[in-house]
Amino acid sequence: MSIQRLFWIVPLFLAVCFMPLTGYGLLEKPIPVMVHELLPEGVTGLDRANDVVSFGIPLMDSDAIKDIGALGLTGASHYQFRPLHRYGSGNIQWVLVDTLASVSGGEMTQLHLTNGTGNSKGPNLARDTGATITVDTGAAVFTVKKAHFNVFDSVRNGDFDYVKGTGAITARSGTRTYASNRDPMSTAVIEENGPVKAVVRCDGHLKHESGDWLFGYTMRIFFFKGTGRTRLDLILKNASYASYSMKVFESVQVEIPTTLTSPDFIFSTGADEETGGSVDGSATLYQGFSNYKYVEYMGGVDKLKERLVPDNGLSVVNGAQVIKTLGNEADHTEGWGAVSKGNRRINFGIRNLYGMWPAGFTLSADGILSLDVYSPYNSKKDIKFAFFAHDKRQMVLDFTTPGTAPRHSFYSLQYPLFGRADFSQYVRTKAIYGEDRMATDKEVRDFFTLVGHGDFEISNVDTLRRYYTWGMGGGPNQYDHQLCKYIHYLRSGKGGAFLAALNDDHHKMFGSTLHSDDFNFYIDGPTYWTNNNATYPENQGKEAFNSKFFDDEHSHDISVPIGYFLTGDESMMTAWADHAEYTAYRQGTSIPNWSYYEGVFTRPTTRVMCRALRRLGALSQYLKDPSYYRPRARLMVRQIHRLRSDRQDDMKDGWDLDRGFFYLSKDGSRPKLERWNKLFMTNDIFPNSLWCYQPEVFDDPLYYEDYEDFMLGMAWHSLDEVLDLVHQPYLFALDKANFYDEEVTAEYPLTFLMSLGYEKTGDETFLTAYQPHIGRLITYQSRERGYTPYMSRFIDFYYHRDVVVGYVEPAGNGRVDMGNSNSPHITRQGSSYTLNWITPKDGIASYQVKCAPVPMVERLHFDQMARTFEYDPAEYDNFWASLNVAGEPSPSSRAGSHETFTVDVAEVMAQYNQRYELAEGDACYQSYDPGTDYYFAVKYVLNRNYLQELPCPAP
């Protein structure tokens, strides 16, 4: 018997024998997890021994895992689990796994998530002891004070205590010093606790001796079994309305008074470079501006140098000895150091220190260790910190011995071990916004070669940014790059891409989000700021270094929950909730013509509306409390569905149910009194926004079916009218012919629509007609476009061609309906029609039933050059635009079975009117006519498991 089978059978036997009767489910099969270092390009791995690994893994809804007590882990002795997200059924979708693993540098080891009995044996690390919290990792015992928070009150290894006196988070502003240990109201709580990891969350204010405070803070301290290593995540806060102002400060430090007096030290002074010696009074490392791995955006460096850090390069000084001088912006530290005395050592580091300037370390001969979050050696002494802003840093402190190299301690934070399942696990669980079709890494690489970009792959460098102009134009700023990078990592294992996405998501949430610490933006905002364009303190945008917040049109935040599910970082979801709350104020407080969250659509601004639509879909799925957002998502989709355009009125937005386009009039660049669409907004940004919606967002399944059908109409419009132009124009005339212009080389992403068109029809033309455009799209827009989830879906369909769709008993000659009551398959009694048919094929997955007052065709097929329809709209309806019927029968499993279904047309119309809150006179109100003999169509889709994969035809 194989070892892998034993890994599975033994936990399964134990789970069945010892499982309590609580309705736990069972994993269908063990989930292999590859554990490896997150290594970007140019970084060499290190051997890791019993190092912590923390990662999120998605589970199937059908596994019915409701509690972590049903899970186990093989290949590791110590582990714990925490649910991160649940399906609508209550079953766990994402679970965080914390364990210990040993991995050779640059190599991998395999674990298996299995059935089991929950967390491994052993006591939880943390316990509440009244005024303090005590954490015993086995290697050290830590004490954390609640009131007068001083980071660590003690750190003991046997009889030895590494700390003495009173430490603190401190900030200096002018002549005043503010410290966390002066706050009698600070708190500390055990946020997470298990046999492998504990997290203590500490909250309070940095106070002056007078009682005034400068910043709020949250510090999460992470503790791990078997080690004296800790991780400190510090968030500085300036978002309390009680202190509405920019904050002026000089420095922020985390000060640890250690017992290691007259110590030796080591500082990293570059890649594979270090310096050290005995601390001579004091030893300092100061990182000024460095361009290392930093991505410049639209003058951001000049602004940051002016407002934050005018100094370039790296300074290292020990007493009177100058080891490294400022001046060269290429000079940088890796971000780590160590201080030691005898057989005791403290290793320390700041994640991404080379890019989190001005930062560094200060050591003193009397044992004070300072992690300089904002260095006191910065020549700028009046830094201005924006109101609404938070700023986050991650640090490591390892209380150990000289046998532990400081680089090893630091790499556990900078380049940690991580766990990744096979890419198919993320697809089959629909773990990323419900997406169940994504191409493999090989398929993506092959497709890029096919379209002439075989030399491109998303960078494996862990870049970062501190400044971003969210409102800048151009193709690269129209989608969420970080979501692409997360998916690329899950597909390829490229750790640099993952770290770059995580870095940028940190910037989004702690450099671009408006926070609200002591007020609710949605509830209090309209009172505090009646003009939502005038919320900032005077001159903040001109003076504060961190005042470049999200705009309304390019707030690419949908990657954030995926980063959270992969890491379990609670600060990210808390920040995302703040962002949601602000948008509820900005776009949901009945602001005239712009309250999209409240369903107000008076000539909406296209991109702002689309971003609001996308965000509501994401929040409705993944926010921990979506109770406000989910009803508004339904409302917004309902209001969009209700809109109908009018050829005679260039100011009337909405759908054209003959041709399939959605007209949006608010565009200053269109000719007056004419209807034109900006294709990249109406046919790209708008439909892509709806990618974030899944059926569970809606309380009626026909909502989802209706919206998918309207997207299919837009797909037909794009295929029939837009793709024939070779290149898509920036502006597309809706009421006159558009012609190919050789000087126009634009291409706009239609992959979402083309994928949906193929999925809903099985028509390979959607794939073959669009494939030649993709190479030019990547050239003219941005190469990263090729890694969007919509492109991944398109590529998967392109190579598999496994969708088979048909119609039951179609009348023929283009008609897809089976007729009306004159058909032998349909009988009528009043408004009630009974449909009878024979199951046409084996393996049918589902039926879709439609009714209409006239015969139905798949699409009316408009020729935009000739300005004619193939099928007269006065005599035919598009199948996609016809009324959906609820409650279709479950298909018989075998061909030849008799099936029957009764439809009350009057009831279908009444339900439609109720679903969209329609009244007589509304453009899309449905009125039953007893004198009309209605037509019916039944579409079927085959289960792809019944299909053999077909080879992709030669391009």
User: pLDDT tens for residues 361-389?
Assistant: 999 999 999 999 999 999 999 999 999 99
Question: What is the reported pTM?
Answer: 0.95
Share of the chain above pLDDT 70, in %: 95
User: Has residue 951 got a pLDDT over 60?
Assistant: no
pLDDT at residue 624 in the model: 93
Q: For the chain, give every domain's residue range.
A: 3-115, 126-415, 805-946
Q: Which residues contact 771 (CB under 8 A, 6 or more apart)?
A: 450, 451, 798, 955
Whose structure tokens read 């900032």? 536
The angle, 0 to 180 degrees and rounded to 10, between the axes of the packed helices 789-800 and 441-450 is 80
pLDDT at residue 590 in the model: 54
Please write the tens of the pLDDT for every residue from 401-458.
999 999 999 999 999 999 999 999 999 999 999 999 999 999 999 999 999 999 999 9
- Please report which helix (H) or strand (E) contains residue 741, including its range: none
Q: Which two tokens stand for residue 774?
A: 């993709």
User: Has residue 8 got a pLDDT over 60?
Assistant: no
- From the list 659, 663, 583, 596, the residue with the least C-alpha distance to 623 is 583
Please write the tens of the pLDDT for every residue from 633-650.
999 999 999 999 999 999
User: Has residue 195 got a pLDDT over 90?
Assistant: yes
pLDDT at residue 809 in the model: 97
Give the C-alpha separation, 219 to 234, whole Å.
Answer: 4
Please write the tens of the pLDDT for every residue from 199-223.
999 999 999 999 999 999 999 999 9
Share of the chain above pLDDT 90, in %: 83
- Residue 34 pLDDT class (50, 70, 90 cuts): very high
Task: Please give the average per-residue pLDDT across 774-784, as a whole number.
Answer: 86
pLDDT at residue 43 in the model: 96
Give the C-alpha separation, 80 to 71, whole Å.
Answer: 9
CB atoms near residue 228 (< 10 Å): 26
Please write the tens of the pLDDT for every residue from 574-592.
999 999 999 999 887 655 5
- Residue 776 pLDDT class (50, 70, 90 cuts): confident
pLDDT at residue 779 in the model: 85
Residue 889: asked if its preceding bond is cis (omega within 30°), the reply is no
Q: Which whole-number Å values give the CA distances from 333 to 285, 314, 354, 470, 890, in the listed order?
A: 9, 7, 6, 29, 64
What is the residue-wise DSSP string for 463-511? -B-S---TT--SGGGSS-HHHHHHHHHHHH--HHHHHHHHHHHHHHHHH
Task: Please give the average per-residue pLDDT across 624-637, as a whole number.
Answer: 92
CB atoms near residue 756 (< 10 Å): 23
How many helical (H) and strand (E) elements, i.e. helices and strands, does the chain have? 20, 46
More confident residue, 947 or 751: 751
- CATH code: domain 126-415 is 2.70.98.10
**CB-based contact 876:855 (threshold 8 Å):** yes
Give the C-alpha separation, 662 to 915, whole Å.
Answer: 20
